[in-house]
Amino acid sequence: MAIKSRSENMTSILKNKSILVTGGTGTIGSALVKQAIIENAKKIIVFSNDENGLFELEEQFSNHKNIEYVIGDIRNEDIVSSIIKNIDIVFHAAALKHVDRCESNPFEAITVNTIGTRNVIKYSIIESVKKVILISTDKAVNPIGVMGATKLLAEKLMSSEGFQQNSKTILATVRFGNVIKSRGSILPKIEKQIAKGGPITLTDQRMMRFFMSEHDAINLILSAADLAKGGEIFVSKMPLLNLKELFETMKEILAPKFGHDPNKIKMKTIGIRPGEKLIEFLLNNTEMENALETKNFFIIPPISKPERLKKYVGAKKAKNIQNYFEKLQPISKKEIKNLLKQSYES
C-alpha cells in the first residue's frame, strides 16, 4: 500500500522526533508508523505482541533503518520502561478491543486496557516523554460492557494524571468509533460473508454505529498531539450509520465482484451480544456541558481545569451540543456508498 501524506497545510509534529507506537501492528498503529515515516521521524519503535505482524511490517519497511521492532506485552513493566527511554511522543494503541472477547475474559481486558495504560503513563512520566496520546473508543461513554469500562478507566487515568502530575509530560486521549476496514472489525467480516454468498449476520436491525476513515482517525490523533495541553479528550465528529443499511450497501457493491447476485444474499438477525448497545454515544452529559468544538472534532478539557477553555486555537465553546446529538440521524445509503468508496480506494 502506498503511503499517503496528510493535508499539506497541516504542520508536521513528528519530524525529527523519536516515536513509540504501542499496538503498532494494528490498523491504527501501523498507519501511525507510516505517518511517522512520511513526516521524517528520527526514530520509530513499533511495539506489539503480534510476532507475525511485526515481521510483516519489517518486511514492508525494510528500507527504513530508523525503525525498531519490539515484541512484548504492555503489562510487562520491565519492557515498557525500557522501550520508553529517550522517546518524545508515545501513541498508545495497544488494547483488547473485541467486545465479546473482553466479556468472556474480563481480567485480561482489565490488565491490558487499564493496567497497561497505567504502565505507559508511569514510565512516560519517569522518562520525561513530551506527549502521550491514548487511542480510546466511543464504547467508553456510559459503558455497559467490560471493554468500554476498561477503556473508560484508561481515559480517567490519562485525564487525572494529565493535570495532577507536575512533570513535563502531556497526556491526552482521542476517542472515536469504528474505523472502516480496520483489522478484526465488522466490515472485513461482512465482506467475507458476501464473498461466500451469505448469509450476512446482523445483530439487530436498529443497531447504529459511528464510523470514520483511517485517514480521519490519523488526522485526529495528530491534531490531538499538536493541540493537547494535558488531560483532554479529543472526539471526532463522525457520521452515524445504520448497520442494516451499511451491510445492504456493501452487498450491492461487493456481491457482483464475487460473482453473486446481491438479491440472493440473505441477511440473518442473530441478536445483540453481551456488552453491546443499540447505539453508542460520543460524549456523556457532563462532557457535553464543558466541550469545545472545531470543524472536525470536540475537545473535552479536564473538568477541574475550566481555565483551559480558551487555550485552543480554532476552538470555541460548543453550543446546543445536546440538541446536536438528539437530532443526529444516520446517513443515507448514497452517503454510505460514497464513504465506502473513499475508504476502499484509499
> Residue 29: exposed, middle, or buried by beta-carbon count in 10 A (0-12, 13-18, 19+)?
buried
Asked about 319 being catalytic, the answer comes back as no
Place of cell 501511525: 32
Yes or no: say if 246 and 332 are a contact pair by the CB < 8 Å rule. no
197 grid coordinates = 454468498
Yes or no: say if 32 and 58 are a contact pair by the CB < 8 Å rule. no
Q: Which residues contact 186 (CB under 8 A, 6 or more apart)?
A: 178, 243
Distance between first and last Cα of the chain: 9
CA–CA distances in Å: residue 120 to residues 53, 116, 205, 264, 306: 21, 6, 39, 50, 26
Yes or no: say if 203 and 276 are a contact pair by the CB < 8 Å rule. yes
Q: Closest by alpha carbon to 201, among 188, 189, 217? A: 189
d(CA 175, CA 275): 18
d(CA 160, CA 151): 14
Q: Which of 97, 131, 139, 151 is catalytic?
A: 139
Q: Where are the beta strands (DSSP E) in 80-207?
A: 89-92, 131-137, 170-176, 178-179, 200-202
Place of cell 453491546: 276
Q: Which residues contact 131 (CB under 8 A, 6 or more apart)?
A: 88, 89, 90, 169, 170, 171, 172, 225, 228
139 grid coordinates = 464504547
Which residue numbers are catalytic?
Answer: 139
